[in-house]
């Protein structure tokens, strides 16, 4: 692929810690190869800042191949930036052109407090899983894997829901900061499989209760979450979640 | 110093007999025993969950913001198990044999046999947890092929097998957190092991958000902290993957085994420039259907599509007709390097070969046309149908390739080149996974035990989960049964105070250097030395030079590194400085180990030791042992040898022809 070099300007959210007040800082970033990933562009900038005796920008990242769910930048008003179905780490500078001004913020949600600059605390997602996002089977109790045939379609749909990487882009995209897409993906994954049946009702009730407790907002079906999801988790999962919830609330005491 | 504690008796009965006679801890006593688990990848999450289920009090630590982020999540292709669901002749013995042979006869038979035995339980456990493995239309589990084997024993979930297995283990772990059996510490990094009277009794951890150091007591400490591939700077590892936990254990007396055994994976996206921060793997499963080739003419600059069939060199199929494109990773990587070094490489860097899907797309298209009864389909229609099939099998990988390179792999061959991927070496452990420090264990990639000098594809996930779900729950009990009278040691014990002070002093020293060069620049320089001299091919002269260079680099690091920010705050540069300082020391040991092992085996290729046709030449008479290095002081190690006795398999020169 042909590559070119571009000069861009960044406006990045800086915030020392959870308690302090944040602000935007501007940086000129010249000489960026379009072959670079978005995070490599940040690496280049940070190296320069350190060399100049300034504070580098803190951001979360780890696998840099779009699967760990750690990276989380809100770029020009979109979680993970302009490319569809792409995490921040897989976004490449090819997406931008010379002279662009790029605004980068952390996920904004009451349930995701800022830790520093672009890093947020997504512990709420772990606590929602703790509330019921599992199948209660201890190690060593399993029957043969093929003793339980599962229709391919169901298995494929469960897999599609299970592809969620827990990055939180859905929450960041939602005007209400709702976590419904995240919760619905886990509820769907487990509800679609026969292994998940025994705890089905209790699971959805408990996970929803925890989601509310964490301070996530309500879902008003705008679909912003689906559009922002780097793994293209379908909003039909939310419909399934609602059906599961309704059925569970009508039949549990 | 090295007692592998391999149970007596025939190989296939060792584990059964061990389980039947091992000491047990009664449930009331388990509640009083605390276990520390460092790392929450497949090994750590499965161990923490299983031990929590048993009733132990577990504390689990990870440096990421959630245990679900551990780098096991990035494994793509699959997990092996000797289920023989395909009726193609697989068995526990065959999986054992393939793994021993794939490891070039440098792994311990007893451990590998146990791994093959429990492999089947892993699949059952994961299915029960709701891991959505790929299935056939009949509803049964699907399998595919992987390198180094001739049976289909790999279970998978599209190109996201590691993710699905890790989420399964993570959910089991979070369930134990909810039940109060496991306490989870995220964004925490282990910075030392605390030993009292020679036994591991806890750790010093740093809360990465506040920067505060913490003391944690445990009756046993399990290191499940992964491999050290990032010593090369560029690797397929996550940016945060590091050797620090294992290295601290080494400094506290745990022997480090076979550090030079690193795996260079043949199918990764090539480097594009100096800005590159990591390399991305394209799953080995792509070699099932893709064909690897270079032009027959040196320096051929034509586009791949303009090079006719008879001017292409399918060099793996040519050199290894029996296994073809599915030779083990070390063999495939060296063959790619050989072609590129000889001037046949492609792309602008000439450090790449083609991985071509054109033939597979056409073949699948024809099959699909047959299935749909479209005998008269045009060539274009066949290709379109073939692309759909390939998309279903490998779509996420193809998408990833396109995002990174900007090229469409459905239309033109992918360019690939080998990259550092996995480290077979690690902390030396006995049959019970205990290091040379009593009470200190190493699981998964952090230990050295099962893969010898080369790991086969789809075996890392198997080993991580085997260690965590099915091995440690038995073996740790054998140690803890004698610890039931040990009351919790208060963390104001002098050993904790001293260890914390040493960690604090080192951090203060790093911060206080206030030099001119960034941590990243040192890491890059270390990586270049390692890749050039201790990478895919090694020789005496280069390794001796590398050791000197690394020592100089270390001195320069400790006198000129610049760590910005403060100690008592979230400071990723400080975290990185701590890790790179350890990588530098490890790099020296890796070169020393590579220098000492005057033979070629698996991923360790010494140029002085090769056959006439360029294959690795082992010297079983001199090097049939595990090299376990004990640290005495700065740049001063003693080598201990664990002789490998092959009772069942007869080592021979590996042939994939």
Q: How high is the pLDDT of residue B60?
A: 98
Backbone φ, ψ for residue B25 (5° rounding)? -115, 130
3-state secondary structure of B418: strand
**Model pLDDT, residue A88:** 98
pLDDT at res. A253: 56
Which pLDDT band, with edges at 50, 70 and 90, does B396 fall under?
Answer: confident
**Whether B201 contacts B217, CB under 8 Å:** yes
CATH of domain A5-105: 3.10.20.30
User: Which residues of B fall within a CB distance of 8 Å from A35?
Assistant: 272-273, 275, 406
Q: Residue A27 has which token pair?
A: 């940086």
Q: Is the distance from CB of B458 to CB of B144 less than 8 angstroms?
A: no
Over 70: is that where the pLDDT of A2 sits? no
Residue B650 domain flag: no
Residue B83 dihedral angles phi and psi, to the nearest 5°:
-80, -25
Whether B519 and B408 share a structural domain: no
Q: Got the DSSP string for B176-203?
A: HHHTTSEEEE-SEEEEEEEEETTEEEEE
Four-way CATH pick for A123-251: 1.10.1060.10, 1.10.730.10, 1.10.3720.10, 3.55.10.10: 1.10.1060.10
Q: Contact, B264 vs B333, CB < 8 A?
A: yes
Contacts of A189 in chain B (CB under 8 A): 130, 132
Which of the four pLDDT bands, split at 50, 70 and 90, describes residue B656?
confident
Count of CB atoms within 10 A of residue A25's CB?
A: 14
Q: Give the pLDDT of residue B349.
A: 87
Q: Residue with structure tokens 């020293």?
A: B509
What CATH number is associated with residue B376?
3.90.700.10
* Domain co-membership, B338 together with B462: no
The pLDDT > 90 percentage for chain B reads: 93
**Secondary structure (3-state) at B311:** helix
**ipTM (interface predicted TM):** 0.98
Q: A80-84: which pairs have CB atoms within 8 A and are 24 or more residues apart?
A: A80/A167, A80/A169, A80/A228, A80/A230, A81/A38, A83/B403, A84/A227, A84/A232
How close A139 comes to chain B (CA, Å)? 6
Residue B616 lies in a domain: yes
Residue B602 has pLDDT above 70, yes or no: yes
Residue B231 has pLDDT above 80, yes or no: yes
Asked if B124 lies within 8 A of A70 by C-beta distance, the reply is no
Q: Which residues contact B57 (CB under 8 A, 6 or more apart)?
A: B31, B32, B33, B34, B35, B181
Min CA distance, B39 vs chain A (Å)? 14
φ/ψ of residue A52, rounded to 5: -85, 5
Answer yes or no: is pLDDT of A1 > 90.
no
Q: What does the DSSP 8-state code read for residue B466?
A: I
Instruction: Please state whether the predicted TM-score (pTM) of the whole model is above 0.90.
Output: yes
pLDDT tens, residue by residue, A149-160: 999 999 999 999
Q: Is B267 on the interface with A (CB under 8 A)?
A: no
Mean of the per-residue pLDDT values for chain B? 96
Cross-strand pairs, B346: none
Domain range holding B566?
493-643
The verdict on a CB contact (< 8 Å) between B85 and A146 is: yes
Is the domain of B61 the same as that of B210?
yes
CA distance A215 to A112: 9
Distance CA B531, CA B517 (A): 21
Residue B77 has pLDDT above 90, yes or no: no
Where among B372, B395, B419 does a domain terminate?
B419
Considering the domain boundaries, does residue B141 fall inside one?
yes
Asked if pLDDT for residue B617 goes beyond 70, the answer is: yes
Measured CA to CA in angstroms, residue B269 lies from B44, B266, B280, B411 at distances of 29, 10, 6, 17
Q: Residue B187: exposed, middle, or buried by beta-carbon count in 10 A (0-12, 13-18, 19+)?
A: buried
Is A146's CB within 8 Å of B141's CB?
yes
Q: Are residues B307 and B367 in the same domain?
A: yes
Q: Phi first, then psi: give them for residue B202, nearest 5 degrees.
A: 155, -175
Strands B154-155 and B57-61: unpaired
If asked whether residues B316 and B452 sit together in one domain, one would say no
Indicate left, alpha or beta for A5 from its phi (over 0: left) and psi (-120 to 50: alpha). beta
Chain B CB contacts of A166 under 8 Å are 66, 68
Whether B6 is in a domain gets the answer: no
Residue B471 sits in the same domain as residue B514: no
Cα torsion B160, B163, B165, B170 to 10°: value is -170
Across residues B549-570, what is the average pLDDT?
98
What b/e string do you get for A97-126 counting C-beta neighbours within 10 Å, with b at 16 or more?
eeeeebebbbbebebbbbbbbbbbbbbbbb
> At B512, phi and psi to the nearest 5?
-80, -15
Domain co-membership, B54 together with B100? yes
Please give the residue that has the higher pLDDT: either B348 or A118: A118
Cα B225 to Cα B221: distance, rounded to the nearest angstrom: 12
Beta carbons of B413 and B307 less than 8 angstroms apart = no
Give the nearest chain A residue to B173 (CA atoms): A130
Q: Phi first, then psi: what are they for B630, rounded to 5°?
A: -105, 135
Q: Using one digit for the tens of pLDDT, what is the confidence trace for B496-534?
A: 999 999 999 999 999 999 999 999 999 999 999 999 999
| Segment B469-495 mean pLDDT | 97
Q: Is residue B549 part of a domain?
A: yes
Chain A and chain B share a number of CB contacts under 8 A equal to 228
Question: What integer pLDDT is reported at residue B1 of this predicted model?
Answer: 82
Q: Are A120 and A113 in contact (CB under 8 A)?
A: yes
Distance between CA atoms of residues B216 and B489, nearest Å: 10
Where is the domain boundary, B429, B448, B480? Answer: B480
Give the per-residue pLDDT at B513.
Answer: 98
Mark whether B500 and B630 lie in a shared domain. yes
Q: How far apart are CA B558 and CA B634, in angstroms?
A: 14
- Chain B residues with CB-CB distance to A55 below 8 A: 564-565
Residues of A within 8 A of B569 (CB-CB) are 16-17, 116
Residue B613 has pLDDT above 90, yes or no: no
Name the least confident of A248-252, B420-424, B581-585.
Answer: A248-252
Mean pLDDT score of chain A: 96
Q: Do B246 and B219 share a structural domain?
A: yes
User: Which member of A44, A126, A149 has the closest CB to residue B139?
Assistant: A149
Residues B74, A68: C-beta atoms closer than 8 Å: yes
Residue B23 in domain: yes
- Residue B102 in any domain: the answer is yes
HSE (CB half, 13 Å, CA atoms) of B499? 29
Domain ranges of chain A: 5-105, 123-251
Task: Give the pair of three-digit tokens for residue A160.
Answer: 């599609």
Residue pLDDT, tens place only, B261-274: 999 999 999 998 88
- Name the band, by pLDDT with cuts 50, 70 and 90, for residue B284: confident
What is the total count of domains within chain B?
3
Q: Which helix (DSSP H) or strand (DSSP E) does residue B256 occupy?
A: strand B256-257
Does residue B5 carry a pLDDT above 90?
Answer: yes
CB contact set of B310 (below 8 Å; sequence gap of 6+): none
Give yes or no: residues B289 and B336 share one domain. yes
Contact call for residues B179 and B52 (beta carbons, < 8 A): yes
C-beta atoms of B66 and A126 within 8 A:
yes
Q: What is the mean pLDDT of residues B354-374?
A: 95
Range scoring the smallest mean pLDDT among A13-27, B171-185, B364-378? B364-378
Q: What is the pLDDT of residues B421-457, one digit of tens each?
A: 999 999 999 999 999 999 999 999 999 999 999 999 9
Q: Which residues of A touch B564 (CB under 8 A)?
A: 49-50, 53-56
Domain CATH number, residue B578: 1.20.58.100
Q: Are both B279 and B233 inside the same structural domain?
A: no
Do A5-105 and A123-251 share a fold? no
d(CA B323, CA B453): 19
Residue A209 structure tokens: 């209760």
Kindly report the CATH number assigned to the domain that includes residue B204. 3.50.50.60
> Which residue from B177, B273, B570 is facing A33, i.e. has the nearest CB?
B273
Residues B582 and B437 in one domain: no
Distances (CA, A) of B181 to A57, A225, B29, B35: 37, 34, 14, 11
């Amino acid at each position: 692929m042909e590559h070119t070099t571009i000069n861009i300007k960044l406006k990045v959210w800086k915030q020392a810690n959870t308690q302090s007040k944040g602000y935007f800082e501007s940086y000129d970033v010249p000489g960026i190869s379009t072959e670079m990933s978005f995070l490599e562009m940040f690496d280049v900038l940070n190296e320069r800042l350190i060399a100049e005796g300034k504070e580098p920008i803190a951001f979360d990242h780890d696998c840099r191949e779009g699967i760990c769910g750690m990276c989380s930048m809100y770029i020009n008003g979109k979680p993970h930036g302009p490319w569809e179905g792409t995490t921040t780490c897989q976004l490449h500078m090819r997406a931008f052109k010379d002279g662009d001004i790029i605004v980068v913020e952390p996920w904004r949600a009451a349930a995701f407090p800022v830790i520093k600059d672009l890093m947020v605390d997504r512990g709420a997602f772990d606590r929602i899983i703790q509330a019921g996002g599992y199948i209660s089977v201890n190690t060593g109790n399993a029957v043969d894997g093929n003793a339980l045939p599962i229709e391919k379609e169901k298995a494929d749909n469960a897999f599609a829901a299970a592809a969620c990487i827990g990055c939180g882009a859905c929450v960041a995209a939602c005007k209400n900061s709702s976590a419904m897409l995240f919760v619905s993906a886990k509820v769907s994954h487990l509800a679609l499989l026969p292994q998940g049946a025994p705890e089905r009702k209790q699971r959805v009730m408990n996970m929803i209760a925890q989601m509310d407790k964490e301070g996530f907002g309500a879902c008003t079906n705008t679909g912003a979450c689906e559009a922002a999801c780097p793994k293209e988790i379908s909003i039909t999962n939310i419909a399934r979640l609602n059906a599961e919830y309704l059925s569970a609330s009508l039949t549990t005491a | 110093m090295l007692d592998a504690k391999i149970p007596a008796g025939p190989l296939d009965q060792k584990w059964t007999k061990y389980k039947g006679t091992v000491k047990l801890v009664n449930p009331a006593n388990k509640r009083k025993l605390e276990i520390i688990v460092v790392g929450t990848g497949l090994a750590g999450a499965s161990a923490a969950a299983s031990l929590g289920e048993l009733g132990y009090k577990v504390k689990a630590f990870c440096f990421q913001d959630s245990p679900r982020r551990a780098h096991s999540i990035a494994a793509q292709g699959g997990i092996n198990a000797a289920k023989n669901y395909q009726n193609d002749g697989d068995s526990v013995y065959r999986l054992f044999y393939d793994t021993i042979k794939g490891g070039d006869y440098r792994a311990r038979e007893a451990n590998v046999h146990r791994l093959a035995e429990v492999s089947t339980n892993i699949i059952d456990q994961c299915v029960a947890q709701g891991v959505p493995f790929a299935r056939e239309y009949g509803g049964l589990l699907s399998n595919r092929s992987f390198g180094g084997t001739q049976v289909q024993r790999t279970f998978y979930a599209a190109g996201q097998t590691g993710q699905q297995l890790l989420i399964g283990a993570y959910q089991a772990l979070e369930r134990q957190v909810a039940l109060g059996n496991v306490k989870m510490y995220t964004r925490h990094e282990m910075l030392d092991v605390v030993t009292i009277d020679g036994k591991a009794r806890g750790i010093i951890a740093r809360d990465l958000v506040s920067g505060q150091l913490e003391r944690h007591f445990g009756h046993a400490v399990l290191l499940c902290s992964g491999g050290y591939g990032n010593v090369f700077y560029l690797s397929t590892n996550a940016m945060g993957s590091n050797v620090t936990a294992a290295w601290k254990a080494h400094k506290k007396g745990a022997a480090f085994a076979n550090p030079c055994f690193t795996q260079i994976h043949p199918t990764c996206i090539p480097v594009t420039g100096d800005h590159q921060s990591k390399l991305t793997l394209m799953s080995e499963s792509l070699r099932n259907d893709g064909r690897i080739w270079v032009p027959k003419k040196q320096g051929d600059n034509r586009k791949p599509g303009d090079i006719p069939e008879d001017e292409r060199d399918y060099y793996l199929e040519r050199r290894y007709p029996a296994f073809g494109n599915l030779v083990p990773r070390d063999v495939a990587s060296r063959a790619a390097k050989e072609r590129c070094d000889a001037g046949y490489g492609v792309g602008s860097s000439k450090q790449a070969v083609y991985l071509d899907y054109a033939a597979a797309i056409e073949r699948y298209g024809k099959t699909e046309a047959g299935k749909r009864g479209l005998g008269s389909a045009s060539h274009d229609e066949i290709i379109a149908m073939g692309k759909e099939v390939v998309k279903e099998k490998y779509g996420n990988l193809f998408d990833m390739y396109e995002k990174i390179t900007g090229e469409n792999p459905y239309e033109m061959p992918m360019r690939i080149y080998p990259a550092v991927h996995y480290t077979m070496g690690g902390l030396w452990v006995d049959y019970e996974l205990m290091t040379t420090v009593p009470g200190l264990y190493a699981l998964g990639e952090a230990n050295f035990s099962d893969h010898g000098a080369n790991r086969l594809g789809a075996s890392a996930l198997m080993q991580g989960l085997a260690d965590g779900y099915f091995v440690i729950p038995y073996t740790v009990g054998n140690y803890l049964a004698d610890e039931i009278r040990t009351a919790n040691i208060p963390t104001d014990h002098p050993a904790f105070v001293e260890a914390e002070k040493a960690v604090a002093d080192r951090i203060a020293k790093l911060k206080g250097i206030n030099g001119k060069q960034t941590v990243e620049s040192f890491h890059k320089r270390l990586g270049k030395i390692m890749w050039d001299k201790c990478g895919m091919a090694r020789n005496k002269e280069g390794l001796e030079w590398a050791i000197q260079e690394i020592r100089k680099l270390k001195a320069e690091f400790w006198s000129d590194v610049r760590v910005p920010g403060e100690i008592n705050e979230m400071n990723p540069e400080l975290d990185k400085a701590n890790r790179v300082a350890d990588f530098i020391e490890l790099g020296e040991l890796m070169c020393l180990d590579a220098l000492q092992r005057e033979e070629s085996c698996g991923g360790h290729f010494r140029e002085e030791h090769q056959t006439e046709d360029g294959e690795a030449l082992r010297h079983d008479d001199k090097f049939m042992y595990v090299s376990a290095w004990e640290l005495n002081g700065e740049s001063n190690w003693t080598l201990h040898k664990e002789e490998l006795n092959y009772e069942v398999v007869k080592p021979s020169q590996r042939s994939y022809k």
